[in-house]
Amino acid sequence: MEASSPYTFLSLIFFLLLTLKLFSSWLKQPKNLPPSPPSIPILGHLHLIKLPLHRTLHSLSQSYGPVISLRFGSRRVVVISSAEAAKECCTENDLVLANRPTSFATKHLGYDSTVLTLASYGDHWRNLRRICTLEIFSSTRLNSFLPIRRDEIKRLLLTLNKRTSSSPGDFTKVELRSMFLEMIVNIVVRMMTGKRYYGEDVTNVEEARSFREMISEILQYTFGGVYPGDFLSILRLVFRDYEKNVSRLSKRLNEFLQNLIEEHRASSKKGGGRSTDTMVDHLLSLQETQPEYYTDEIIKGLTMVMVVGGTDTSTTTMEWAMSFLLSNPNSLKRAAEELDSVIGQECLIDETDIAKLPYLQNIVSETLRLKPPAPFLVPHMSSEDCTIGGYNVPRQTTVFINAWSIHRDPNLWDDATSFKPERFENGDDGQFKFLPFGRGRRACPGEDMAQRVINLALGSLIQCFEWKSISEEGINMPKGVQLEAMCKPRKIMARIAEH
């Protein structure tokens, strides 16, 4: 008893403080909050969370309405699940909601949340966004990277062609997921650093492997789940492993990116004149004239954010588009007919052709509608009190805009859960019922680039190969299962392989 008494005393104080805190937060409870499911003390609604989060939030909104309020431990969360409320968030409230919530992982992996995706709204973020728009995503820049996109897509076609060579004239089974991922990672990484991390001409296999691992770990720690320690600091004692892992990863990541920069610096010194082909080279040359702004940290952060934001999103879109086409042979047939009539089998589709291929574009849109890669966008946070749907939303509230839920709203979409690219034919994407890239200030800056890559790659695959699913019933693709398909080269493939 003796030994435990100081602890009893301490825990008594702890509970007293906790009661006081709960009582005062109850007194301070703002009026007219959005509807909320019953919560439990301290945890709030944390116990309701099951992954995947967008589905949990969707089913809560089915019972409590299109604007609901939740508490994740000590944090207030508002979930938006209607186009109308989303519109309010991205127009009147766009500025108020232009912040991002922070977490243990974003602080440690995102250079103290200063990288583009995570920075609070303000001068620093505006500058990063400007650099991005000018130096990476402007049409001039994107056009200058076109040879990279062409080359990687062509390599994908040639690899597929090689796999089918053992059974000429017949269908061959191929696995697509890893091929898509490798193509996209190569496109983004080559644009940033000039390196290829997969396939032939890979400069350093070990480096490539370690980079891929880091990216998937980052995604897992930032968007892959909910870390309870972010919501109740006392739980951090229980989840020591998580924090150790994140810290270790953050150190590895920083060393990796720093090495990358040093390499570019060294090679430009050695070569006399600087090569300005890659983004990192380009940012380093800006560093010479404006060293106070284009710091190493800014360059490292931008490099990381491009790879993290651009690779898995584009890859899953490619995978789902292909898997929808395999299970909807009529859509596939229509896409092939469109390609045949607009381009034919003499020369390979190029980026400028995409504008002439509306059905292909609609396939990509319909895929993004049913399977938005960022189902609840990237969380926003309010910097001031505001109102959404007539309810009060206090400052410092995390706001999830559940695009997944809006994209499947039966009031907005006919036969909402079916794959029907035709539905986009009459321009039926009223701004706020379709928002896979978000809207407003924080919307995805990579949309144009993603559209170019995905449409061109998908168009090339349909132009150059015949496809069918491995089973007659069509396939569905549960997560973690490989995407397999049967393919057979078309006439044009022989022509491409010759060159």
Locate 222 and state its tokens: 């930032």
Interface residue list for ligand NAG (CB under 6 A): 241-242, 245
Q: Is 445 one of the binding residues for ligand HEM (CB under 6 A)?
A: yes
For residue 28, the minimal CB distance to ligand NAG (Å) is 34
Helix (H) or strand (E) holding 75: strand 75-80
Residue 321, Cβ density class (10 Å: 0-12 exposed, 13-18 middle, ≥19 buried): buried
Dihedral class, residue 427 (left if φ above 0, else alpha if ψ from -120 to 50, else beta)? left
Task: Retrieve residue 111's tokens.
Answer: 């250079």
CB nearer to ligand HEM: pick between 127 and 245: 127
For 119, 267, 268, 296, the CA distances from 291, given in Å and listed in that order, are: 21, 19, 17, 9
User: Considering CB distances under 5 to 8 angstroms, the limit depending on partner class, which of ligand HEM, ligand NAG, none binds residue 446?
Assistant: ligand HEM
Residue 374 binds ligand HEM, judged by CB under 6 A: yes
Q: Which stretch binds ligand HEM (CB under 6 A): 27-35, 202-210, 261-269, 311-319?
A: 311-319
Residue 378 in contact with ligand HEM, rule: CB under 6 A: yes
Sign of the CA dihedral 226, 230, 232, 235? positive
Q: Which residue stretch of 19-27, 383-391, 434-442, 457-465 sits at the interface with ligand HEM (rule: CB under 6 A)?
A: 434-442
Judge if the upstream peptide bond of residue 52 is cis by omega within 30 degrees of 0: yes
Euclidean distance between CA atoms 9 and 290, whole angstroms: 58
* Footprint on residues 448-467 left by ligand HEM (CB under 6 A): 449-450
Based on CB atoms, which residue is closest to ligand HEM, 61 or 469? 61
What is the end-to-end Cα distance of the chain in Å, rounded?
85
Span of 207-215, 289-297, 331-339, 375-383 interacting with ligand HEM by CB under 6 A? 375-383
- Kindly state the number of chain residues that form the binding site for ligand HEM, as judged by CB under 6 A: 26
Q: Widest CA span of the chain, in angstroms?
A: 90
For the chain, state the CA radius of gyration. Answer: 25
How near is the Cβ of 109 to ligand NAG at its closest, in Å?
A: 13
Judged by CB under 6 A, the stretch of 37-45, 146-154, 336-344, 431-439 that binds ligand HEM is 431-439
Q: Return the residue of 93, 117, 328, 463 that touches ligand HEM, per CB under 6 A.
A: 117
Of 242 and 437, which CB lies nearer to ligand NAG in the complex structure? 242
Partner that binds at residue 198, options ligand NAG, ligand HEM, none, CB closer than 5 to 8 Å by kind: none
Which residue stretches of 223-345 are H helix?
240-270, 279-289, 296-327, 329-342
Q: Does residue 444 interact with ligand HEM by CB under 6 A?
A: yes
> Restricting to residues 288-307, which ones interact with ligand HEM according to CB under 6 A?
305-306
State the binding partner of 117 from ligand HEM, ligand NAG, none, CB within 5 to 8 A by kind.
ligand HEM
Which of ligand HEM, ligand NAG, none is residue 60 near (CB under 5 to 8 Å by kind)? Answer: none
Considering CB distances under 5 to 8 angstroms, the limit depending on partner class, which of ligand HEM, ligand NAG, none binds residue 245? ligand NAG
CB of 245 to ligand NAG, least distance (A): 4
Yes or no: say if 321 and 454 are a contact pair by the CB < 8 Å rule.
Answer: yes
Q: Applying CB under 6 A, which of residues 373, 421, 459, 489 lies at the interface with ligand HEM?
A: 373
| Long-range contacts formed by 166-175: CB under 8 A, 24+ apart | 169/488, 170/488, 171/466, 171/468, 171/486, 171/487, 171/488, 172/486, 172/487, 172/488, 173/470, 173/484, 173/485, 173/486, 174/484, 174/485, 174/486, 174/487, 175/482, 175/483, 175/484
Indicate which single residue of 96, 109, 185, 188 sits in contact with ligand HEM (rule: CB under 6 A).
Answer: 188
By CB under 6 A, tell whether 83 contacts ligand HEM: no
Q: Which of 92/466 has CB closer to ligand HEM?
A: 92
- In whole angstroms, the minimum distance from the beta carbon of 452 to ligand NAG comes to 36
**Residue 392 to residue 150: CA distance in whole angstroms:** 50
- List the helix and strand counts (H, then E) for the chain: 17, 9
398 binds, among ligand HEM, ligand NAG, none (CB under 5 to 8 A by kind): none
Spatial distance between the Cα atoms of 184 and 186, rounded to a whole number of angstroms: 5
Among residues 236 and 490, whose Cβ is nearest to ligand NAG? 236
Contact partner, 242, from ligand HEM, ligand NAG, none, Cβ < 5-8 Å per class? ligand NAG
Residue 310 interacting entry, from ligand HEM, ligand NAG, none, C-beta within 5 to 8 Å by type: ligand HEM
CB atoms within 10 A of CB 262: 11
With a CB cutoff of 8 Å and minimum separation 6, the contacts of 296 are 258, 261, 287
* Cα 21 to Cα 42: distance, rounded to the nearest angstrom: 10
| Closest by Cα among 342, 327, 365 to 467 | 327
Residues that bind ligand HEM (CB under 6 A): 116-117, 129, 188, 305-306, 309-310, 313-314, 317, 373-374, 377-378, 380, 436-438, 442-446, 449-450
